[in-house]
C-alpha cells in the first residue's frame, strides 16, 4: 500500500524525466505516448488507493526529514536568487524572511513520532482529480505545444507532469514543515510555468505570482511557529485532535487559513492567478482546475473540523463569500476570455472555501462536490479557450462573436461548461443548492445569513456573466446553410470529450455519485457522513429532495433541445431581416462590458483587504 502511494508521486516524475530527456521534433509521438501513459497509470494507482485500507499513516525514515530540510533551504535560496536576478524587492525580502522563519522553526522544532504521511480519503479524492483531470490536461498540452513551439514542448510537458506528482505529494503529507516545502514547490512550478514564454509580461506576472505565494508560505511558517509555541504541534493530525475542545488558541489556525486564502487567489491576492493567463493555456488549465489553487480548499477542509463554529470560520465565510460576489462582479468588466474564466475561478474558489468553513457534513459535501465539478469544468473551459485561441485565433469576447457558425463543437462544449456552473441540474448547482439549504438552518448567525445573500447574489452574477458570453457565441447571421463540424485535432477531442461526458453523466447520476463517492470523503473529513440518500436518480437531503424527473427534464431541455436546434429547420416559413426602425444599417452588434462596475473595483478590493485583515486579526485571535 505504501508503495502504491509512493508510486503516485514517483510515476509522474519518472514520466516527466522521460519526456524531458526526449527533446526535439523527432520524438514528438513518443512523448505523446509517454504522456498518454500517465492517464491509465495514475488512474489505476488512484483506484488502488481508493479501494485500499484508508486512512493510511506512513512512517518515514529520518533521512527524508533531513532531505526535506535541505530541499527547503535550496528552494528558498533559489527564490532569493530569482529575486536578486530580476531585481525584485518583494521576492528578495520575502525569501529572506522565509529563510529566517524556517531557521527559527528548525531550531525549536520538537521531536515527534507522528507519521509524516497521512493518506485518507480526502487525499485520495485529490489524487483522483489530479490523476484524471491533470493528466488529460497534459495530453492536451502535447498537442497545444506542438502548435506553438515544438522545440520546447518536452520541457513544458515535463514540468506539467512533475507538477502533478508534486500535487499528489502535497495532499498526502502530514508534517506541516513538509507541507510548506511542497506548498512552495507548487509556487515554484507555477512560477516556472507562468514564466515559460520568457517575455517581459510573463516574467513580471511570474514574479508577482512568486511573491504573492511567498506570503502564503510565510503564513504557513508562522502558523507552524505558533503551533509549536502553543501546543508543540507539527502535524495536521495533531491539530485535528483539538476539534471539539473549548477555548483553543486560534493563532496557528488563523495563519494556516490565511495561507489557504492566498493560495486560493482570494482578493486582494487574486492578481497572481490573473497573471497566469499570459502563459500557454494548459498552464491556466492546470493551475485553475486540478492543481495549485485546489490546495486552498483542501487546506480549509483539513482544518474545518477544528475551526467549525469558531469566529474564524464565520469570518472566513464572510470573506470568501464576499470574494465570491466581488470576483463575479469584476469578471463582468473583462473582455478577455481567459480573464473571465480566471475571475470565475476565483469566485468559485470563494464558494468552495465558504462551504468548507461552514463545517457541517452537508456543507462539506457541497464543498467536495464543488471541487470535483469545478476541476472538471474549468479544465474543460480552459481547454476550449486554448482551442479557440489556436484554431480560431480568438482571445477576446469580441473575437468569438458568431463562433457558432464556424465551430459547433467548440461552442457546444463551452456552453455546457458555462451552463454547468450555474444552471439547474448540473453538479455545481446541486452543491450550491445544498449549501443554501444547509445555511438556512443557522439563520440566527449573521455569517450564515451573509452566506445566503452571497450565494444568491454571487450565483446570479455568474449566471449573468456566462449568459453574456454564451449570447455572444451563439449569435448568427442567418440559417445554417449546411451543418458542418469544425475539424478539431484528435488530441483536443480526446482530452475534452471525457470531461464533457463526466459533467453530464455525473450530473444525471448525481445522487449515486454523492452517496457512493463523495460521502465517504465527507466521513473522512469530519467523522460522520452527510445524511443523504439516493433513491434511483432522486437525491434526498435532510430537508428536501431533488427528484430524478427534475434532473432528467432539465437535461432534456438543456442538452437535447439546443443540439436539436441545429437540425430544426422551419423550411416553410419566410425569412426576414432584423427590425431596425426601417433604417438600412450595417449592423455591428457588440456586447455589454459593464464599465460602470469598474468604478467599484477599488472599493471591492479595499473591502477585501479589510476582511482579510479582520479574518487574520479577529479570527486568528491576534487581539
Partner 1 sequence: MSYWTAFILTLFSPVIGGFIYGLERIVRARMQGRVGPPLLQPFYDFFKLMDKRSIIIHSFHAFMGVMYLIGTWFALFVLLSGGDLLIAIFFHVLSLAFLVVGGFSVRSPYSVIGAMRELLHMVAYEPLYVLSATALYLVTGTFQVSGILHSEHVPLIYLPLLFIAVLFSLPAILKKSPFDTAEAHQEIIGGPEIEYSGKFYEAVYTAKWIEYVYAFFFIFLFAGGNHILGALLIIFAFFFFNLLDNVTARVNFRQMVAFHWYILIPLAVTNLMLIALWRS
Partner 2 sequence: MDFKSFRKKSPWILHYNTGSCNGCDIEILACLSPKYDVERFGILNRGNPKQSDILLVTGPVTKRAKERLLRLYFEMPEPKVVVAVGACACSGGVFRHMYNVENGVDKVIPVDVYVPGCAARPEAIIDGLIKALEILKSKGKDLELPSWCKADVKPPVNRAKLLNSCLEEFHGCRRD
Q: Does 471 bind partner 1 (CB under 8 A)?
A: yes
Per CB under 8 A, the segment of 9-17, 127-135, 485-493, 576-584 that binds partner 2 is 576-584
Give dist(CA 206, CA 273) in Å, integer. Answer: 10
Here the cell at position 21 is 530527456
Q: Does 468 bind partner 1 (CB under 8 A)?
A: yes
Give dist(CA 43, CA 311) in Å, integer. Answer: 40
> What part of residues 568-597 is at the interface with partner 1 (CB under 8 A)?
568-570, 573-580, 587, 589, 591-592, 596
* Strands 56-58 and 538-540, bridge-based pairing: unpaired
Q: Does 436 bind partner 1 (CB under 8 A)?
A: yes
Q: Are 459 and 453 in contact (CB under 8 A)?
A: no
Q: Which one of partner 2, partner 1, none is in contact with 583 (Cβ closer than 5 to 8 A by kind)? A: partner 2
- Residues 6+ positions from 392 with CB-CB distance below 8 Å: 399, 400, 403, 406, 407, 410
Q: Does 572 bind partner 2 (CB under 8 A)?
A: yes
Q: Which residue has the cell 470531461?
A: 499
Question: With respect to partner 1, which residue has the nearer C-beta, 200 or 574?
Answer: 574
Give dist(CA 389, CA 406) in Å, integer. Answer: 14
Q: Does 586 bind partner 2 (CB under 8 A)?
A: no
**Dihedral angle of Cα 197, 94, 616, 287, to the nearest 10 degrees:** 20
Here the cell at position 508 is 444525471
Phi then psi dihedrals of residue 539, to 5 deg: -105, 120
How many residues belong to the site for partner 1 (CB under 8 A)? 67
Question: With respect to partner 2, which residue has the nearer C-beta, 247 or 576?
Answer: 576
Neighbours of 474 (CB within 10 A): 16
Q: Does 574 bind partner 2 (CB under 8 A)?
A: yes
At closest approach, how far in Å is the CB of 580 from partner 2? 8
Q: Which one of partner 2, partner 1, none is in contact with 311 (Cβ closer than 5 to 8 A by kind)? A: none
Q: Are 141 and 499 in contact (CB under 8 A)?
A: no
At closest approach, how far in Å is the CB of 567 from partner 2? 18
- Residues 6+ positions from 435 with CB-CB distance below 8 Å: 351, 354, 355, 358, 362, 363, 366, 367, 451, 455
Q: Does 246 bind partner 2 (CB under 8 A)?
A: no
Q: Are 514 and 531 in contact (CB under 8 A)?
A: no
Question: With respect to partner 2, which residue has the nearer C-beta, 200 or 586?
Answer: 586
How many residues belong to the site for partner 2 (CB under 8 A)? 12
Question: With respect to partner 2, which residue has the nearer C-beta, 567 or 579?
Answer: 579
Per CB under 8 A, the segment of 2-10, 74-82, 426-434, 573-581 that binds partner 2 is 573-581
SS3 198: coil
> What part of residues 413-432 is at the interface with partner 1 (CB under 8 A)?
419, 422-424, 429
Here the cell at position 545 is 429532495
Task: Write out the residues near partner 1 by the rule CB under 8 A.
Answer: 419, 422-424, 429, 433, 436-437, 439-440, 443-444, 446, 449, 452-453, 455-457, 459-461, 463-464, 467-468, 470-472, 474-480, 543-547, 550, 553-554, 557-558, 561-562, 564-566, 568-570, 573-580, 587, 589, 591-592, 596
Task: Write out the residues near partner 2 by the rule CB under 8 A.
Answer: 571-577, 579, 581-584
Amino acid at each position: 500500500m505504501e508503495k502504491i502511494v509512493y508510486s503516485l508521486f514517483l510515476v509522474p516524475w519518472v514520466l516527466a524525466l522521460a519526456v524531458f530527456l526526449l527533446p526535439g521534433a523527432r520524438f514528438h509521438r513518443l512523448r505523446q505516448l509517454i504522456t498518454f501513459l500517465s492517464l491509465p497509470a495514475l488512474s489505476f494507482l488512484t483506484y488502488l488507493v481508493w479501494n485500499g485500507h484508508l486512512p493510511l499513516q506512513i512512517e518515514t525514515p529520518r533521512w527524508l526529514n533531513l532531505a526535506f530540510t535541505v530541499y527547503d533551504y535550496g528552494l528558498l535560496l533559489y527564490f532569493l536568487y530569482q529575486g536578486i536576478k530580476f531585481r525584485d524587492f518583494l521576492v528578495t525580502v520575502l525569501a529572506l524572511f522565509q529563510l529566517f522563519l524556517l531557521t527559527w522553526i528548525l531550531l525549536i522544532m520538537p521531536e515527534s513520532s507522528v507519521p509524516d504521511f497521512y493518506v485518507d480519503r480526502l487525499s485520495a479524492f485529490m489524487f483522483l482529480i489530479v490523476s484524471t483531470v491533470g493528466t488529460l490536461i497534459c495530453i492536451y498540452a502535447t498537442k497545444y505545444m506542438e502548435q506553438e513551439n515544438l522545440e520546447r514542448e518536452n520541457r513544458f510537458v515535463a514540468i506539467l507532469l512533475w507538477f502533478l506528482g508534486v500535487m499528489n505529494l502535497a495532499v498526502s503529507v502530514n508534517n506541516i514543515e513538509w507541507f510548506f516545502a511542497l506548498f512552495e514547490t507548487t509556487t515554484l512550478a507555477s512560477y516556472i510555468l507562468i514564466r515559460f514564454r520568457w517575455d517581459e509580461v510573463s516574467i513580471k506576472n511570474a514574479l508577482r505570482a512568486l511573491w504573492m505565494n511567498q506570503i502564503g508560505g510565510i503564513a504557513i511558517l508562522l502558523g507552524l511557529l505558533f503551533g509549536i509555541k502553543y501546543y508543540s504541534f507539527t502535524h495536521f493530525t495533531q491539530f485535528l485532535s483539538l476539534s471539539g475542545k473549548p477555548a483553543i488558541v486560534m493563532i496557528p489556525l488563523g495563519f494556516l487559513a490565511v495561507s489557504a486564502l492566498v493560495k486560493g487567489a482570494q482578493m486582494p491576492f487574486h492578481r497572481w492567478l490573473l497573471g497566469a493567463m499570459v502563459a500557454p493555456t494548459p498552464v491556466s488549465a492546470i493551475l485553475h482546475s486540478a492543481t495549485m489553487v485546489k490546495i486552498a480548499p483542501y487546506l480549509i477542509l483539513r482544518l474545518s473540523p477544528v475551526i467549525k463554529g469558531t469566529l474564524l470560520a464565520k469570518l472566513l465565510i464572510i470573506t470568501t463569500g464576499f470574494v465570491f460576489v466581488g470576483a463575479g462582479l469584476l469578471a463582468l468588466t473583462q473582455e478577455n476570455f481567459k480573464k473571465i474564466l480566471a475571475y470565475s475561478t476565483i469566485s468559485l474558489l470563494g464558494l468552495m472555501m465558504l462551504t468548507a468553513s461552514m463545517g457541517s457534513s452537508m456543507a462539506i459535501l457541497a464543498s467536495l462536490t464543488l471541487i470535483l465539478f469545478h476541476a472538471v469544468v474549468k479544465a474543460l473551459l480552459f481547454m476550449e479557450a486554448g482551442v479557440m485561441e489556436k484554431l480560431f485565433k480568438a482571445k477576446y469576447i469580441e473575437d468569438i462573436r458568431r463562433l457558432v457558425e464556424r465551430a459547433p463543437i467548440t461552442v457546444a462544449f463551452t456552453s455546457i461548461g458555462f451552463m454547468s456552473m450555474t444552471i439547474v441540474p448540473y453538479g455545481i448547482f446541486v452543491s450550491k443548492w445544498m449549501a443554501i439549504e444547509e445555511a438556512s438552518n443557522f439563520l440566527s448567525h449573521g455569517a450564515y445569513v451573509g452566506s445566503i445573500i452571497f450565494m444568491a447574489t454571487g450565483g446570479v452574477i455568474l449566471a449573468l456573466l456566462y449568459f453574456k458570453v454564451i449570447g455572444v457565441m451563439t449569435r448568427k447571421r442567418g440559417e445554417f446553410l449546411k451543418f458542418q463540424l469544425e475539424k478539431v485535432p484528435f488530441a483536443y477531442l480526446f482530452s475534452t470529450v471525457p470531461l464533457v461526458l463526466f459533467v453530464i453523466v455525473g450530473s444525471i447520476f448525481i445522487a449515486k455519485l454523492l452517496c457512493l463517492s463523495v460521502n465517504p470523503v465527507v466521513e473522512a473529513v469530519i467523522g460522520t457522513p452527510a445524511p443523504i440518500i439516493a433513491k434511483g436518480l432522486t437525491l434526498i437531503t435532510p430537508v428536501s429532495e431533488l427528484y430524478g424527473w427534475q434532473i432528467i427534464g432539465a437535461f432534456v431541455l438543456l442538452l437535447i433541445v439546443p443540439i436539436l436546434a441545429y437540425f430544426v429547420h422551419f423550411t416553410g416559413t419566410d425569412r426576414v431581416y432584423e427590425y431596425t426602425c426601417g433604417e438600412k444599417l450595417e449592423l455591428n452588434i457588440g456586447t455589454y462590458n459593464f464599465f460602470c462596475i469598474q468604478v467599484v473595483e477599488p472599493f471591492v478590493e479595499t473591502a477585501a483587504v479589510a476582511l482579510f485583515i479582520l479574518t487574520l486579526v479577529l479570527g486568528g485571535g491576534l487581539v
